[in-house]
Amino acid sequence: NLASEVDFDKSWAVLADAIREIENKNAYELSFEELYRKSYNLVLRKYGKQLYESVKNLVGDYLFGIKDSLNIKYESNDDKVEFLKVISSRWEDHMLSMRMISDVLMYLDRVYAKENHLPLIYDVGINLFRDNVVKYDNNKTGNRLNLLVMEEITANRNGLIIDIFLVKSIIGMFESLIEDEKNIEMGENYYLKYFEPFYLEKTHEYYERKSSEIFEGNNGTMYLKKIDELITNEQNKSALYLPTVTYPKLMSLVDKILISSKIDKVMKFQNEGLKHWIMNGKFADLNLLYRLLSRVDYFDGFKIQLNEIILEEGLALEQNELETIPQEGNVKAKNPGYSKKATSQAITWIQKVISLKDKYDLVLKNLNNDASLQKTIENSFVEFLNKNVKLAEYLSLFIDDIIKKTGNKSEEEVEEIL
């Protein structure tokens, strides 16, 4: 009987003492070769299950003690950042301890755990940290950690200097705590299940508040510049600590709150809104507006307002021209001097239209020569030009005047001028 050749209790007592020494950072005096041999013999003599469960219970009890000391630390210290530092340190120590314990129990992993489709000893230790420390008592410590990490992130958003590496360490710990033990590679982890939803919820609240504060200033230019600054800062800062899986969700949320939800109203501001930017040649503001709208790929509201502004400007050009040329009758016969005045009015109007088109060509240039916006501008010009019942007459007078002034120029030169 092979089992009788090995005294489990005596061998386990030695291994248990060694595990405690490792957990207490006193491993320098241990003989890992001797410890490995003891665990090897236990597995070889069919004590694999007993050894596996004993290690699991011992590490679990140790972590319960860690959990209790962390609770005392949290409740007796107002410096919550210190609590984050302590738990980060405990986590790093635990991972190191589990690597060393795994080395001793390598044969247990290779034979018993593998054959029975059980987590390796290292993973057992990580799962126990999750269950006995972070999630114990209805996720008590985990909820505290989520809140404290979020407070640090908010402080950083508000311009305060924080320990980025500490925040990154805690988030890294969350990522290591797997929720689906049967599918470690594809399974959900603590970060995705608990922290990320909390983080996105608090981020939503933060930027709703910030955007409302800026919006209440009723200044379009200020709104654009401030949200652009917020977006840039969020991109730069979150990249330092945030897992790549969350980054697109974060920026989509931020863009929706800061841009999509309010930009149409911002463009309508009387105080430095879209009309002000166009009328006063504020091309830097128009370019910034375009960049922000491009982030959310939303131009519908912008196109509507752009069309309204162009129509307003275009229709204003003809207000003084409507009665210039009679609809019927021989102008020259009735009033020979009137024809010259009518031609002058037609030329003036068309030159104003051309100048207006030149202005919007420059506007378009600062909108990245966007093809869809170019179409909006062209359609808006067509719309207000077609509203002028004298358009054909104006064009006829304008072209006649150009032909007269070209004198003996060739047909090609006249075409170029036209």
d(CA 53, CA 25): 23
Query: How far apart, in whole angstroms, are the C-alpha atoms of residue 4 and residue 172?
Result: 46
If we measure between CA atoms, which residue out of 271, 273, 275, 267 comes closest to residue 299?
267
**In sequence order, what DSSP letters do the residues of 348-362 get, joined into one string?**
HHHHHHHHHHHHHHH
Residue 233 per-residue DSSP state? H
For the chain, what percent of residues have pLDDT higher than 70? 90
Rounded (to 5) percent helix, strand, coil in the chain: 80, 0, 20
Name the residue among 284, 305, 158 with its Cα closest to residue 221.
Answer: 284
Q: What is the pLDDT of residues 339-371, one digit of tens each?
A: 777 788 888 888 899 999 999 999 999 999 999
* Inter-CA distances, 168 with 150, 165, 172, 190, 224, Å: 12, 5, 6, 14, 31
Q: How many CB atoms lie within 10 A of CB 153?
A: 22
Q: What's the average model confidence in pLDDT over 66-90?
A: 93
Model pLDDT, residue 244: 95
Q: What is the mean pLDDT of residues 61-89?
A: 93
The first and second tokens of residue 62, run together, are: 């140790």
Token pair for 191: 């970060």
Residues 6+ apart with CB under 8 A from 112: 43, 48, 49, 51, 52, 118
Minimum mean pLDDT range among 64-73, 276-285, 316-325 = 316-325
Confidence of residue 331 (pLDDT cuts 50, 70, 90): very low
Question: Which residue in the block uniquely carries the two structure tokens 């797997």?
Answer: 178
| 329 contacts: CB under 8 Å, gap ≥ 6 | none
Angle at 18 between CA 15 and CA 19, to 5 degrees: 90
CB 19 within 8 A of CB 101: yes
Please tell me the least confidently modeled range out of 159-163, 174-178, 226-230, 340-344: 340-344
pLDDT at position 5? 58
| Per-residue model confidence (pLDDT) at position 239 | 95
Query: Per the confidence metrics, is the pTM higher than 0.95?
Result: no
Asked if residue 258 lies in contact with residue 214, where contact means CB atoms within 8 angstroms, the answer is no
Neighbour tally for 404: CB within 10 Å: 9
Quote the CA–CA distance of 115 and 251 in Å, as a whole number. 45
Taking 70 as the threshold, does the pLDDT of residue 326 lie above it?
Answer: no
pLDDT at site 317: 83
What b-and-e string marks burial along 64-82, b requiring 16 or more CB atoms within 10 Å of the CB?
eebbeebbebbeeeeebbe
Check residue 389 and give its pLDDT.
Answer: 76
pLDDT computed for residue 1 by the predictor: 45
Of 41-50, 173-182, 193-202, least confident by mean pLDDT is 173-182
Query: Can you name the residues that pair with 189 across neighbouring β-strands?
Result: 178
- Buried/exposed 39-51: b ≥16 CB within 10 Å, e otherwise: bbbbbebebbeeb
Give the model's pLDDT for residue 193: 96
Determine the Cα–Cα distance for residues 32 and 48; give it in Å rounded to an integer: 19
Model confidence at 36: pLDDT above 80? yes
Judge whether residue 153 has pLDDT over 80: yes
Which structure tokens are listed for 64? Answer: 């319960």
Instruction: Give the integer Cα–Cα distance in Å for 170 and 198.
Output: 15
Q: What is the CA radius of gyration of the chain?
A: 38
Tell me: the pLDDT tens digits for 377-408? 999 999 999 888 778 887 888 888 877 777 66
pLDDT 10s digits, 287-320: 999 999 999 999 999 999 999 999 999 988 876 5
pLDDT band at 329 (very low <50, low <70, confident <90, very high): very low
Region 14-26 average pLDDT: 96
How many angstroms separate the CA atoms of 317 and 295, rounded?
35
Q: Degrees (nearest 5) of the Cα angle 310, 311, 312?
A: 90
Question: Which among 51, 53, 61, 64 has a CA at the least distance from the CA of 104?
Answer: 51
Mean pLDDT computed over every residue of the chain: 91
Which residue in 282, 257, 256 sits closest to 269, CA to CA?
A: 282
Q: Which residue has the higher pLDDT, 152 or 316?
A: 152
* Three-state SS at 371: helix
**Residue 401 in 3-state DSSP?**
helix
Across-strand partners of 178? 189
The pLDDT value recorded for residue 319 is 65
% pLDDT > 90, the chain: 76
Please report, for the chain, how many H helices and E strands are present, in that order.
22, 0
Q: What is the pLDDT of residues 235-269, one digit of tens each?
A: 999 999 999 999 999 999 999 999 999 999 999 99
pLDDT score, position 333:
46
The answer to whether 364 touches 377, Cβ cutoff 8 Å, is yes
Domains of the chain, first to last: 8-177 (1.20.1310.10), 181-297 (1.20.1310.10), 300-322+337-417 (no CATH)
Q: Which residues pair with 127 in a beta bridge?
A: none
